[in-house]
């Protein structure tokens, strides 16, 4: 059985690392890894492959960044050529990026069955490109691996056949369990930055809805600058966000207030997350990682796909519309109690990858 795995961005590298390890140990499965190149520099790509011990991709398509249509179109063309050459039994896609959508569309056009890891998530904000990618991929897929009961319910409400939907848990939780100890052993990021546990806020910002909107960008970073007067704010700066700050003339002032660092690898990110007093982010993956390490989180958006974390009190939503509101919301979260205790099975109890591989091995030839 041959499976082509398609990845292209940081969160997908983490998820694929956990699943690929199980695939490689299965005697009857051959995995072919395709990296679209959506994240392509050393800090956003290469270091993750090294730290997570992901095999070198069989194909590196080198697509790079571009507008959504152009990038997705180039991915479609390149992925189609790989699929025609390899003739896989399954194509495995992850999450909600342009790489995900391109892999799904290229596959179904060639009548190759698609499995979607992290299916069923919904923000219900169709202005987010990620939301469109999720919905289209789910409706194209033959197997949908849902991380939560809420995700299962979303798929059911959209009329997707029940036999396609499987509640398996979250592969990022599997990865967090696998790599937490390794991060403690290998990472020196706290010493390098002179940080001590519970004495800083970790911030990550990269979504287009925040970086491409001048007023939101201003409110967000002015608010974070106010917060930094009370506690250090550490910001691994995404290339998109760096460009936006330069465009808006904010870069110099922000660098005086926040502790700006280059993007970090997965193990360093784990250590920064585990030891933060609070995490503030617009990333879906970082919201969950905060919870995995039981660190309170403020999500700088009006909605989230991970609604259960808001309901349980571990996450709170804070749209960055006003700098004063951003600052007061984050400072209030700093003083609040942690969220409620939750069962370890919330995100699958670390068994998501095993279930995914088992379901794939049982469904060879489906949809062909």
Closest CA to 254 of 262, 264, 242: 242
- The terminus-to-terminus CA distance of the chain in angstroms comes to 13
Closest CA to 73 of 110, 102, 108, 47: 102
Catalytic residue among 35, 39, 116, 206: 206
Q: What is each CA distance from 106 to 45, 55, 188, 252, 259, in whole angstroms?
A: 23, 23, 42, 43, 42
B/e letters for 331-340, b = 16+ CB within 10 Å, e = fewer, are bebbeeeebe
Q: Which residues pair with 7 in a beta bridge?
A: 35
**Quick one: tokens of 25?**
């140990």
Q: Which helix (H) or strand (E) holds 167?
A: strand 165-167
Give yes or no for a contact between 79 and 34, defined as CB atoms under 8 angstroms apart: yes
**Quick one: tokens of 165?**
């939907």
Give Cβ neighbours of residue 360 (< 8 Å, ≥ 6 apart): 1, 3, 29, 90, 92, 115, 143
Q: Which helix (H) or strand (E) holds 50?
A: helix 47-51
- As a dihedral over the C-alpha atoms of residue 19, residue 20, residue 21, residue 27, rounded to 10 degrees, the angle is 110
d(CA 222, CA 106): 43
- How many residues belong to the chain? 368
B/e letters for 288-299, b = 16+ CB within 10 Å, e = fewer, are bbbbbbebbbbb
Residue 42, Cβ neighbours under 10 Å: how many? Answer: 12
Mapping DSSP to helix (H, G, I), strand (E, B) and coil, where does residue 189 land? Answer: helix
206 is catalytic: yes
Give yes or no for a contact between 210 and 216, defined as CB atoms under 8 angstroms apart: yes
Give yes or no for a contact between 15 and 22, defined as CB atoms under 8 angstroms apart: no
The residues annotated with a catalytic role in the active site are 206
């Amino acid at each position: 059985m041959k499976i082509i795995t398609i990845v292209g961005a940081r969160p997908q590298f983490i998820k694929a690392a956990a699943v690929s390890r199980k695939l490689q140990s299965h005697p009857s499965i051959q995995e072919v890894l395709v990296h679209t190149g959506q994240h392509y520099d050393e800090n956003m790509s290469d270091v993750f492959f090294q730290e997570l011990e992901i095999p070198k991709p069989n194909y590196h398509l080198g697509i790079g960044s571009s507008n959504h249509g152009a990038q997705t179109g180039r991915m479609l063309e390149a992925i189609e050529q790989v699929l025609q050459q390899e003739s896989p039994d399954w194509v495995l896609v992850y999450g909600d990026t342009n790489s995900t959508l391109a892999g799904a569309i290229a596959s179904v056009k060639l009548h190759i069955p698609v499995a979607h890891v992290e299916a069923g998530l919904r923000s219900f904000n169709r202005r987010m490109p990620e939301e469109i990618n999720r919905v289209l991929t789910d409706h194209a897929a033959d197997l949908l691996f849902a991380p939560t009961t809420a995700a299962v319910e979303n798929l059911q409400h959209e009329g997707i056949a029940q036999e396609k939907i499987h509640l398996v848990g979250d592969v990022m939780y599997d990865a967090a369990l696998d790599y937490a100890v390794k991060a403690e052993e290998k990472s020196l990021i706290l010493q390098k930055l002179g940080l001590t546990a519970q004495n800083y806020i970790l911030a990550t910002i990269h979504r287009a809805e925040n970086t491409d909107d001048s007023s939101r960008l201003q409110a967000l970073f002015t608010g974070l600058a106010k917060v930094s007067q009370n506690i250090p704010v550490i910001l691994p700066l995404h290339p998109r966000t760096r460009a936006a700050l330069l465009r808006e003339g904010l870069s110099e002032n922000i660098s005086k207030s926040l502790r700006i660092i280059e993007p970090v690898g997965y193990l360093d990110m784990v250590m920064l997350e585990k030891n933060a007093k609070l995490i503030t982010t617009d990333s879906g993956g970082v919201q969950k990682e905060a919870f995995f390490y039981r660190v309170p989180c403020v999500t700088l958006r009006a909605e989230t796909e991970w609604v259960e974390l808001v309901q349980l009190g571990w996450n709170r939503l804070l749209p960055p519309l006003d700098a004063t509101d951003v600052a007061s919301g984050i400072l209030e979260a700093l003083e609040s109690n942690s969220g409620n205790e939750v069962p370890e099975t919330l995100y699958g109890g670390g068994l998501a990858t095993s279930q995914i591989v088992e379901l794939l091995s049982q469904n060879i030839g489906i949809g062909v």
